[in-house]
Amino acid sequence: MALKLQELWIINKNGLPYLSVQSKGLVEGINPMIFSGFMSAVQNLAEDSIDAIKMRNSKIMIVPVKEPIPFFVIGRAKTKEKDGAIRKQLGKIRDMFLDEFSIIIPTWEGDLTFFTYFKNRLTEQFF
């Protein structure tokens, strides 16, 4: 069975979420705005040295991207999922995001609806 993420966030280095996706069966998700700001602050304080946060029933894996545009791809999965499999999926998502938006993001004006079609693609493929 393929790995299914529980939640996904793509956030910029300042904590603004470009998008967040939550699996349909997830009862209680994490507020994307609060979580994005928290993760940005943690990453800035830790100077990108935190790559995972493990909890009782789930874990959060972080893939920082510095070039060509700085952002974070963050995924939450069940604790039983292998770290390598999670990182591989997050790497695919990072590459898809860069292919789609690396030229556009520097001039992007903050409209989050801009990412809706990409969020739908991610939902179909990874959730």
For residue 13, which amino acid is it? K
**R_g of the chain, CA atoms, integer Å:** 14
Token digits for 102?
């690396």
Q: What DSSP string runs through 19-46?
A: EEEE-TT-SS---HHHHHHHHHHHHHHH
Q: In whole angstroms, what separates CA 55 from the centre of its chain?
A: 17
pLDDT at 27: 63
CA atoms within 13 A of residue 125's CA, in its CB half-sphere: 12
SS3 call for 106: helix
Dihedral sign (CA 78, 14, 48, 70): positive
Q: pLDDT higher for 51 or 49?
A: 51
Q: pLDDT higher for 110 or 86?
A: 86
Domains of the chain: 7-126 (3.30.450.70)
pLDDT at 74: 92
Strand-pairing partners, residue 75, are 8, 61
Q: What is the pLDDT of residues 64-97, one digit of tens each?
A: 898 888 899 999 999 999 999 999 999 999 999 9
Highest mean pLDDT among 25-29, 53-57, 90-94, 111-115: 90-94
pTM of the model as a whole: 0.85
Residues 9 and 38 sit within 8 Å (Cβ to Cβ): no
